[in-house]
Amino acid sequence: MFQRIFSWLWPMVETHANGKFGRLEVRWENGRKVLNSTHGNQSFGALHRVWQQTFVHLGLKDGPPGSVLLLGLGGGSVPYILREELGLTMPITAIELDPVMLALAREHFDLGRHTELEVITADATIQLHALKARFDLVIVDLFDDLDIARGVDSRGFMHGLRDRCAPEGIVCFNTVAYDEASEMRCKAVKAHAERVFHAVEELVLEDVNKVFIFR
């Protein structure tokens, strides 16, 4: 309670751990517990707002998908929004590479509360090609701290996304453009998508996030 109250004045660290890509920190900000990496939010802060706004844009509450594939679970913002905020019950398959991230999600963000959630511990850029099912909504949220993960801005990864997407499905691909190099990687994602998918839409959120929607 002390940490929650004082977090409105100053962020209060609850715990930290060394994840696969560096330091992870659970702390209280503005009365809410969040999960951060060294330079970016991984769940329940700015990233949470990005997905809230994206799902409103897609109208998921009134037109929910039948199945969801989540690449990059983090602390569990996406399952929380779908289950707790939108009241949706479709099965979710989530792939997360970092076991430390998963441990923090379970201990501090009650990940285990969510029903119909299958979690696979694996590299999503590889596991994507091993899956057989197709999904109505594919969510890509793969980062190494503030940068999109290695390999996700490749044409091969884009073809893998298309193969996992149902015929009338949608892919939502989160990126961050904070400097010239990251901007170029965002442009590469969009360029590959335009060659693979029928339509590509771009949402700019939280100043630096670019969420691409592929149909």
Residue with tokens 């996304």: 161
pLDDT-derived band at 12 (thresholds 50, 70, 90) equals confident
Which pLDDT score, from 0 to 100, does residue 6 have? 54
Between helix 180-196 and helix 155-164 the angle, nearest 10°, is: 50
User: What token pair was written down for 14?
Assistant: 């609850």
Going along the chain from its start, the domains and CATH numbers come out as 40-214 (3.40.50.150)
Which of 107, 42, 115, 34 is CA-nearest to residue 73? 42
Residue with tokens 């990864």: 157
- Min mean pLDDT across 8-12, 120-124, 141-145 is at 8-12
| Model pLDDT for residues 72-93, shown as the tens digit of each residue | 999 999 999 999 999 999 999 9
User: What token pair was written down for 212?
Assistant: 């691409």
pLDDT-derived band at 121 (thresholds 50, 70, 90) equals very high
DSSP per residue, 22-82: EEEEEEEETTEEEEE-SSSEEESSHHHHHHHHHHHHHTTTTS--S-EEEE--TTSHHHHII
Instruction: Calculate the average pLDDT of the chain.
Output: 93
Which pLDDT score, from 0 to 100, does residue 51 have? 98
Instruction: For residue 149, count other CB atoms closer than 10 A to its CB.
Output: 20
Report field, pTM of the whole predicted structure over 0.85: yes
Which SS3 state, helix, strand or coil, does residue 164 take?
helix
